[in-house]
């Protein structure tokens, strides 16, 4: 329960999606500043929660999917994480709509294939970086994962922000759609690209990091053996 509450708070109104949506309201005038502040906030979120504490902050349903497929998130926690992330985005968007009442908002115009490709590539990069710096044995205990994750988001925002909006997060996609920054008819583009990227990143990690995959299989085998013995 505490994980889900913290995920809502950090993903939503106080730290992550709300300032992201707020920046996007002004993004046409200061796009570089928008990308930079979003990236730096992710750095702060990753370091502040230390990814390996009680929360293992995901802030992103695509990341949760990738971490689950990688074997570092229990199945019973997946739905709770994702619901909390979406609730955080809804609360954030509602708060911004309240405090920025009357603000002029123009929906982003998306070209289908470029937007799909942009969101897939950089969500893949984000999830793959998370898996490598926050779940791999070779980087266990490192102090740089917040920077690695945050600068991946910032790079993506600079590179493709004017193509897809630089969302890379299904929860943010819900938030920007609520704000009118993206048409609801386009939300499937974000969801399809980002969840597909999460799956692809997890499968790629399992291929290129077989030693971590063997560890995951050993843990599952040990758990299965323990359950079988207790059943006897």
Predicted confidence (pLDDT) per residue in 68-94, tens digit: 999 999 999 999 999 999 999 999 999
Q: What pLDDT does residue 24 have? A: 55
DSSP letters of 47-109?
HHHTTTSSS----SHHHHHHHHHHT-S-HHHHHHHHHHHHHHHHHHHHHHHHHTTT----PPP
What are 38-48's pLDDT values in tens digits? Answer: 544 555 454 44
The total domain count for the chain is 1
Burial of 84 (0-12, 13-18, 19+ CB in 10 A): buried
Give residue 138's domain range.
2-231
User: Which pLDDT does position 51 carry in this prediction?
Assistant: 43
The CATH number that applies at residue 162 is 1.20.1080.10
* pLDDT at residue 42, as a whole number: 54
Which of the four pLDDT bands, split at 50, 70 and 90, describes residue 53? very low
Tell me if the pTM is above 0.95: no
Among 83-87, 200-204, 224-228, name the one with the lowest average pLDDT. Answer: 224-228
CA distances from 44 to 31, 94, 111, 207, 219 (A): 20, 24, 32, 30, 31
Please, what is the Cα angle at 133 between 74 and 57, to 5 degrees?
Answer: 45
Give the whole-angstrom CA distance, residue 139 versus residue 53.
16
């Amino acid at each position: 329960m505490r994980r889900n509450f913290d995920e809502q708070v950090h993903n939503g109104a106080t730290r992550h999606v709300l300032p992201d949506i707020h920046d996007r309201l002004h993004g046409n005038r200061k796009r570089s500043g928008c990308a930079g502040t979003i990236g730096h906030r992710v750095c702060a979120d990753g370091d502040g929660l230390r990814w390996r504490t009680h929360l293992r902050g995901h802030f992103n349903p695509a990341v949760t999917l990738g971490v689950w497929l990688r074997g570092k998130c229990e199945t019973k926690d997946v739905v709770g994480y994702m619901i909390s992330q979406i609730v955080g985005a809804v609360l954030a968007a509602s708060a911004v709509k309240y405090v920025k009442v009357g603000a002029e908002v123009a929906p982003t115009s998306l070209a289908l294939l470029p937007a799909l490709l942009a969101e897939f590539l950089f969500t893949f990069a984000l999830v793959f970086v998370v898996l490598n710096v926050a779940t791999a044995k070779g980087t266990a205990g490192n102090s740089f994962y917040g920077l690695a994750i945050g600068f991946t988001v910032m790079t993506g925002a600079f590179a493709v922000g004017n193509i897809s909006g630089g969302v890379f997060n299904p929860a943010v996609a819900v938030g920007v759609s609520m704000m009118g920054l993206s048409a609801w008819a386009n939300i499937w583009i974000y969801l399809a690209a980002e969840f597909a990227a999460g799956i692809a990143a997890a499968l790629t990690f399992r291929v290129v990091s077989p030693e971590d995959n063997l560890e995951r299989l050993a843990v599952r085998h040990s758990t299965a053996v323990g359950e079988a013995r207790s059943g006897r």
